[in-house]
Chain A
Amino acid sequence: MIYASLSTLRAALAAKKISSVELARLFLDRIARMNARINAFITVDEEKTLAAATEADARLAAGNASPLTGIPLAQKDIFCAQGWRTTCASRMLENFIAPYDATVVTKLEREAGMVSLGKTNMDEFAMGSSNETSYFGAVKNPWDEARVPGGSSGGSAAAVAAGLTPVATGTDTGGSIRQPAALCGLTGVKPTYGIVSRYGMIAFASSLDQGGVIGRTAEDCALVLSAMAGFDEKDSTSLERPAEDYSRLMDAPFAGLTIGLPKEFFSEGCDAEVMTAVQAALAEYQKLGAKTVEVTLPNMRLSVPAYYVIAPAEASSNLSRFDGVRYGYRAPEYANLTEMYEKSRAQGFGAEVKRRILIGTYVLSHGYYDAYYLQAQRARRLIANDFAEAFKRCDVLLGPTSPGTAFALGEKRADPVEMYLSDIYTIAVNLAGLPALSLPCGFDAKGLPIGLQLIGNYFDEARVLAIAHVFQRATDWHTRHPACNL
């Protein structure tokens, strides 16, 4: 049951082989035993979880269950869930109990009937690629506990990898779902910007943030995404489109697919073992009947610099609300208003968050705005245009998710730029707002998982998930689990 697929769990629940309460207890017990080591969860509340599971069992018994009712999940601690402590892994929100539900929480838990096992660890305010910036401590990669799980959705990825939950939510601003999925041997999907409501998802960079799913397979991700996505009038950037079943293309014929290979994804800078695994995956697709074409994204080199202007700019403003006035951390001692702001924010935010607030404040300042922010927006348009050109010649783009496998804890902490470059293959996708996913495609010599990235055109998530599914039918990389069991 620990590593069972969602459809297996669903069948077991429907056949009354197991109850939702029993399933929840199974995972809660594993969390109780293993979380101290992995640190994947910030908050676990057995009472709430079991109450939700009891409700799910009632729905199952009454016959008004949805396909996901009673199935446990873990929520990234960036989603507000009413009555749950919601910290964003920051001291600033250490004791913040959310008084309302994010739309994602409403849809997955209140409507679909999934049962939350708890709130997962993450980089503070989703700023990081290693999960080391969390106020609640680093998350360990279940494949090697001396290594990072990736970030910012590192807790979600580690929890799924360690078998602490069947599936977890994540958010992806520059790779925060795909990179940890890659580093933990999982499948993680970031949909088109505007598909998943951002209401109740604590904002990092509003124009880039997008909710998504980390699971073991494309099939599992598709099931959860179908329940999670949809137009939300509470989010003005949410797209008014009919609801979709993202599993619908899983069994569609694969023939005639053209895979685009951006040459920028296959040049220097990528670890050789990663590249070997990606090439092998490509060969597998060719064997399955896919054609390939080389494409180019000439402005991709602008993506990291553009991202590190736009994301901090938006963040510097988004994080202004954490001022110690209405909720959240307030310094115990201050002489006046200015000091209250300064001390509360100095003490409440960690170093990486403060670094990005400073960068963002700087690039928006009078006299610098045109040179940085506007210039970055121009670069963003060029990058989006590059993708549009590429998609004229292919159905999907393929490449590595991350230039390397999981790095050692502390290895990149001293050099922010080196850390930022670990997102070099994922960031452009957020700037363009495209859907993308990462799926396991092999292991390096150290036994660490390698991720393959598939990037689709706008609204093509069902197709991208199906392309991943075809690979997962032909390979078994996604079925491997770390030997971290106690």
Chain B
Amino acid sequence: MTWEVVIGLETHVQLATCSKIFSGASTRFGALANTQASPVDLALPGVLPTLNRGAVECALRFGLSVGGKIAEKSVFARKNYFYPDLPKGYQISQFDLPIVEGGHIDIVAGQGEECHEKRVRLTRAHLEEDAGKSLHEDIHGKTGIDLNRAGTPLLEIVSEPDMRSAEEAVAYAKALHALVRWIGICDGNMQEGSFRCDANVSVRRTGEPLGTRREIKNLNSFRYLKEAIEYEVKRQIEILEDGGVIQQATVLFDPATGETRTMRSKEDAHDYRYFPDPDLLPLAVARDWLEQTRMALPELPEAKRQRFIRDYGLSAYAAAMLTVTLETADYFEAALAAAGNNNANAKSCANWIMVDLAARLNREGLEIAQSPVSAAQLGGLVCRIADATISNAIGKKVFEALWLGDGENADAIIAAKGLRQITDTGVIEKLVEEVLSANAANVAEYKAGKEKAFHALVGQVMKAAKGKANPQQVHQLLKQRLEGGEK
């Protein structure tokens, strides 16, 4: 008996606006409690919301990026419930008429033979405001309320139940995360809660109707998303195989235990008494505004990935890696322009960025935008390797020097440190002679059939040349000398 897993995600994306969705207060993270709450955020008597145009524009950018339909008229509604960190006693959200309907996100999930592409359909995306925070750590035996976050603009993006495994869900979440950062509508900071997912999970026997779903709330890391879904799937299958039934519920994931626990069941679901907010007019998006927003969008990741493959001859893998963030893609194209645009340089730039630069950035905990080695500097380096001024191995030294700021560019470092490659056959032959006479034992071993001894000899020659000899020439001359016997 095989089980099919069905997953849909609701993602809350915090929009990167300077001020809140319905007030002028700042959205900056980490300020002293309640210092970024205006009369509107505090829900003082008599205050009224006014819609932040910037937040709407973020929603438009998203809608256009995923091929969704932008509603000519969308409506803000009130979702009524009492909670101490919800100052008005209702959340302003969109219900019947969201700003974006439909659209899709393309994902690549799984590894090796399991690797596959998939299109996840989106149901809708709507604008809403965030609530404040209840501070449950003991404040003189009471609960504290911080309303700095109240009114922060969110875009809630709802997918269709199109994912069939935790891996697919994670791939979708990652692709969405990359996209919202790419189009500049979210900083993507998951620790600070800028991007959080609710996962609706159910299982069914293949071919049967959808099972009862349970919703896992507030997953703020890809790892928790994966672990929570895996746990939930395992548990649901166990219950069903034991002849039990799944109770619809909202659950929380506890990263410490790796388990989910019920927050509320269907019976205590709220009646939110949605109705259109009479304080806000229906939102109409003018065609001009929509067109301007469309024009201002950057080239999207998928289009860029395809172009990198087509125009630069990159592998699908490299193209995907270089289009993970807009910053990476921009860095790559700037480096390539500096190196000189051809397919060999493209491949070389891609390798340098994906291997050496990525490792170094990772080690220092830096983003590519903060890289001490500029794209122009890396391009200059690639250029000198391509024209054989230096070897790839010396290139690594130059890269390190650039990183440390030892020179303005690769040429300056090569000149200052005398790293220019030795290609003079006479010079290399002389070095070979010296090494052979000093390492009779290795020569004997090689002649006895030990291939390893040859590498030791190459190493000795390179060492004698301080790494600057052209490796192909060393290899060739050494081979000639050993195969050809005494001169």
Contact = CB atoms under 8 A, between A and B. Distances in A.
Given A320-B82, A321-B89, A206 B145 contact: no
A205 B275 CA distance: 13
Of B43, B49, B89, B280, the most chain A CB neighbours within 10 A belong to B89
Interface string A422-445: 000000000000000000000000
B89 A102 contact: no
A365 B87 CA distance: 21
Contacts of B46: 79-80, 98, 102, 198-203
Contacts of B278: 205-207, 237, 314
A234 B47 CA distance: 9
Nearest to A102: B46
A316 B89 CA distance: 10
A236 B280 contact: yes
Interface string A291-329: 000000000000000000000011011011111011100
A176 B71 CA distance: 38
B446 interface: no
A320 B272 CA distance: 12
B48 interface: yes
Measured as residues with beta carbon below 8 angstroms from the partner, the interface class of chain A is 35 or more
Given A320-B88, A325-B84, A199 B47 contact: yes
Contacts of A93: 45
Contact of A317 (B49, B78, B280): B78
A135 to B, nearest CB: 15
Given A80-B44, A321-B45, A234 B82 contact: no
A233 B49 CA distance: 10
A88 B43 CA distance: 16
A254 to B, nearest CB: 37
Contacts of A96: 45
A235 interface: yes
Given A198-B48, A317-B80, A364 B275 contact: yes
A236 B50 contact: yes
Contacts of A321: 43, 45, 87-89
A89 to B, nearest CB: 12
B281 A99 contact: no
A373 B275 contact: yes
Given A317-B78, A364-B275, A337 B84 contact: yes
Nearest to A232: B48
Contacts of A313: 275
A341 B83 CA distance: 9
Given A88-B45, A236-B48, A236-B281, A325 B145 contact: yes
A86 B78 contact: no
A233 B45 contact: no
Given A317-B275, A321-B43, A364 B80 contact: yes
A236 B80 contact: no
17 contacts: A99-B44, A199-B47, A207-B278, A233-B50, A234-B50, A235-B50, A236-B280, A236-B281, A237-B278, A237-B280, A320-B80, A321-B89, A323-B82, A325-B84, A364-B273, A365-B271, A369-B275
Interface of A: 79-80, 86, 88, 93, 96, 98-100, 102, 198-203, 205-207, 233-237, 313-314, 316-317, 319-323, 325-327, 337, 341, 361, 364-366, 369, 373
